[in-house]
């Protein structure tokens, strides 16, 4: 029998481990030293969250796999992260737009997980929410600063929010797994997050003097089903290299 909770936990872990990997690519490349450190700290928070989700998934699976095996020994089609988090860093506006879209959804999602019927999921969500609260404040503030900054920063920010908008719809599109977890009280009804997310994003964009893309725009999907962009394969090739080249290697 298919273990739906295991699959669900993998999704939660995959989202944050892939975004963390993207952010670690910027280590030493931030526009200013403060931002370089902030990006690294957010990445570390997300890695920590991924460890909790993967470890619990391994426990649920009961096959003696470890968090490292789940992260480093699965192929791209076995990852079920949102397409948004695997998008390339691009320029700094692209990085911020991706982060803000995810942070604002992640915060609402974790809030709902606090009421999960699975007490361990609720406990992990409680810890993660404290970190994500900071992530959201930071990314939202920077969206406003750059959007309402110079003409050049405004143009870059507007282009970034427009280009990444097509990847936001997947966050609210439930499939059979999402529905099963919602019915069991394990996870939230994803559709219920859409209205508060749209309102929050609209409020931030207003302060940032940015034009919000239409809510009914066409959206990409497929990441949660293992159908990814070509970018994920390149990301995993780097992220998984050590374990693939030297199986079982430890520090």
129-172 confidence digits (pLDDT tens):
999 999 999 999 999 999 999 999 999 999 999 999 999 999 99
Q: Is the pTM of this model over 0.75?
A: yes
pLDDT digits (tens, 9 = 90+) for 34-47: 888 999 999 999 99
Closest CA to 202 of 190, 219, 220, 214: 214
Q: Where are the domains of the chain?
A: 4-245
Question: What is each CA distance from 246 to 17, 72, 241, in whole angstroms?
Answer: 21, 11, 8
For domain 4-245, give the fold.
Answer: Ferritin (1.20.1260)
pLDDT score at 36: 87
Closest CA to 171 of 81, 46, 232: 81
Are 20 and 85 in contact by the 8 Å Cβ rule? The answer is no
Residues 132, 135, 136, CA angle at the centre, nearest 5°?
A: 90
Closest CA to 16 of 148, 109, 151, 91: 109
CA distance 139 to 137: 6
Using DSSP's 3-state secondary structure scheme, residue 215 falls into coil
Phi, psi of 90 (to 5 degrees): 60, -140
Phi-psi region for residue 64, left (φ > 0), alpha (ψ -120 to 50) or beta? left
pLDDT digits (tens, 9 = 90+) for 230-242: 999 999 999 999 9
Give me the sign of the Cα torsion angle 135, 139, 145, 150.
positive
Q: What is the mean pLDDT of residues 18-26?
A: 96
- Of 22-31, 61-70, 119-128, 188-197, least confident by mean pLDDT is 22-31
Can you count the helices (H) and strands (E) in the chain? 10, 0
Residue 2 has pLDDT above 70, yes or no: no
Phi-psi region for residue 231, left (φ > 0), alpha (ψ -120 to 50) or beta? alpha
Q: What is the mean pLDDT of residues 181-203?
A: 98
Are 91 and 237 in contact by the 8 Å Cβ rule? The answer is no
């Amino acid at each position: 029998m298919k273990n739906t909770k295991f699959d669900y936990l993998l999704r939660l872990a995959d989202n944050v481990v892939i975004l963390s990997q993207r952010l670690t690519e910027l280590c030493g490349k931030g526009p200013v030293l403060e931002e370089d450190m902030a990006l690294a700290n957010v990445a570390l928070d997300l890695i920590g969250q991924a460890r909790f989700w993967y470890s619990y998934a391994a426990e649920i699976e009961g096959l003696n796999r470890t968090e490292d095996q789940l992260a480093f020994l699965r192929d791209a089609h076995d990852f079920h992260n949102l397409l948004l988090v695997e998008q390339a860093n691009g320029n700094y506006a692209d990085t911020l737009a991706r982060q803000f879209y995810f942070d604002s959804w992640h915060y609402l999602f974790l809030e709902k997980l606090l009421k999960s019927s699975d007490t361990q999921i609720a406990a992990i969500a409680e810890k993660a929410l404290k970190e994500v609260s900071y992530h959201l404040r930071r990314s939202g503030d920077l969206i406003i600063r750059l959007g309402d900054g110079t003409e050049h920063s405004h143009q870059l920010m507007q282009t970034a929010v427009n280009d990444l908008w097509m990847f936001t719809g997947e966050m609210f599109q439930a499939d059979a797994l999402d529905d099963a977890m919602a019915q069991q009280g394990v996870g939230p009804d994803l559709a219920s997050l859409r209205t508060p997310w749209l309102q929050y994003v609209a409020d931030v964009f207003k302060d940032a003097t940015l034009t919000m893309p239409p809510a009914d725009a066409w959206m990409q999907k497929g990441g949660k089903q293992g159908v990814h962009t070509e970018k994920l394969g390149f990301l995993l090739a780097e992220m998984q290299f050590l374990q693939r080249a030297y199986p079982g290697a430890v520090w």
